Amino acid sequence: MILKEFGGSDSGKYLVIDGQQRCMTFSILIRAILDVCSGNRYLSATQETRLVDCIYGVNEDSDGNEFYITKLTPSNPDKKSFDRVMCAEVDRPLDLDENTKDAIEKAYKFFYDYFSINSDKIKIFYGKLNSDNNSIIKISLTTSDDEQKIFDSVNSMGKSLSNADIIKNYIFQKLRENAKDDEVRKNQVTDLYNKKWDAVFYADDKKEFWYKELTVGRLKTDNLECFLKDFAIVKGIYAAKKTSGTYGLCNAFKEYINNLDDEELKIFVKEINEYANIYYSYKKGYEELNEFIWSDDQNRLLLILDNLNTTTFNPYASC
C-alpha cells in the first residue's frame, strides 16, 4: 500500500495512492462477517468489537451523540455503492437485489452468503487475520513526496496500471498543486473534476460503456483508453508510429500537460469532456444500430470497420 499524508501530519488522514481496491475488499469482507454474526455467537463480543474497529471509527455530532464512520472513503466511482454497503445499520444485513450488477454489492453478497453457509469458518478467518504470518507492505509519503513517480515505478514491475487513471491523476494533481493552499481554487478543481470528468466517465449509465473490455490487435484495452488515444491523435499530442505503445500515450500526455499553464489545463479538461461526449454518442450509435440505409455510406463503412475491430479511423470519425 502507498499512503500519503493528507490534511497535515497531525490529522491522522491519508490518501490511498495504491491499494484502495484491497482496502475496499477487506472492508466489505469484515462488514459481511459482522452481519452474519449479528444475533449469533460465532465470535465473542470482544472479537466482534475488534472487527468493527478495523473498518469503522467513531465521530460525534453537534449534540455530542456518537455515530460510526467508515475509515475508508473511496474515490467517486465507487463511493455510492461502498457507502450503501458500509453505512447501513451495523446490526442489520443489507437488502440487496439478487440480480445486482454492481461489483461492490456482488462482493458483499458473495462474502455474506459464504459465511452464512460456512459459519464455522468465521473463527478460522479471525484467527488467520490476527496471525503473525500476515504482512502488509506500507509506503508512507509526506506531503512533499511525488506520489505519481513512486506509484508509476512500483506498478511498472507488476500488473499494468490503467493508463486513463495515470493521465487523470496527472492532470488533477497538477491542478491541485497549482491551487496550493487556496481553498477557493481547490474547490474549483474539485468542481471541475466532478462536472467534466466524473460526470462523463463514471456516471452510472455510462461507466459500463467506458470500461467495456476491447481487444485491439494483441492488446487488451477499453473504450476510455481508446478514446484518450484518439483524442491525443486529433490534438497532435500522440503519434502512434513515433511513440511506443500505451505507456507512450501516458508520457505524451504528461509532456503536453507540463507545457500548459493553469487556465490552459482547465480548458484542456473541458475539451476532453466535449470530445468524450461526441465519442460516446458515436460509439453508442453502433451498439444500438446494426444497419444503415444505403445512402448513408460513411456510417455503413464505419459500422463495418467497427465490427472488424479496426480502430485506425476512429480519430477521424468520432473526434
C-alpha cell at 301: 463503412
Least confident of 196-205, 222-231, 278-287: 278-287
Q: Are residues 49 and 170 in the same domain?
A: no
Does 144 map to a domain?
A: no
| Tens-place pLDDT, residues 307-316 | 766 666 666 6
Per-residue model confidence as pLDDT tens digits over 41-86:
899 999 999 999 999 988 888 888 888 888 898 876 778 888 888 8
Q: Is 147 domain-assigned?
A: no
User: What's the CA gap between 274 and 290, in Å, rounded?
Assistant: 26
Q: State how far Cα 278 lies from the chain centre.
A: 23
Which one is predicted more confidently, 96 or 243? 96
Say yes or no: 115 and 216 in one domain. no
**Is 295 among the domain residues?**
yes
What is the residue range of 209's domain? 160-318
| Per-residue cell: 291 | 444497419
Please give the pLDDT value at position 24.
92
- Looking at residue 62, its pLDDT comes to 80
Per-residue model confidence (pLDDT) at position 63: 82
Assigned C-alpha cell, 186: 481547490
Distance CA 201, CA 209 (A): 9
pTM: 0.60
Highest mean pLDDT among 68-72, 101-105, 117-121: 117-121
Concatenating the DSSP letter of every residue in 232-259 gives HHHTTS--TTTS-HHHHHHHHHHHHHHT
Both 203 and 305 in one domain: the answer is: yes
Question: How far, in Å, CA of 275 to CA of 35, rounded?
Answer: 45
Position 148 in a domain: no
Round the average pLDDT of the chain to a whole number and report it.
Answer: 80
**pLDDT reading at 257 higher than 90:** yes
φ, ψ of residue 43 in degrees (nearest 5) = -130, 160
Comparing 99-108, 125-134, 149-158, 164-173, the range with the smallest average pLDDT is: 149-158
Phi, psi at 7, each rounded to 5°: 80, 20
Between residues 306 and 201, which one has the greater pLDDT?
Answer: 201
The verdict on residue 245 lying in a domain is: yes
Secondary structure (DSSP) of 33-99: HHHHHTTS-SS-HHHHHHHHHHHEEEEE-TTS-EEEEES----HHHHHHHHHHHSS-TTS-----TT
132 and 200, same domain (yes or no): no
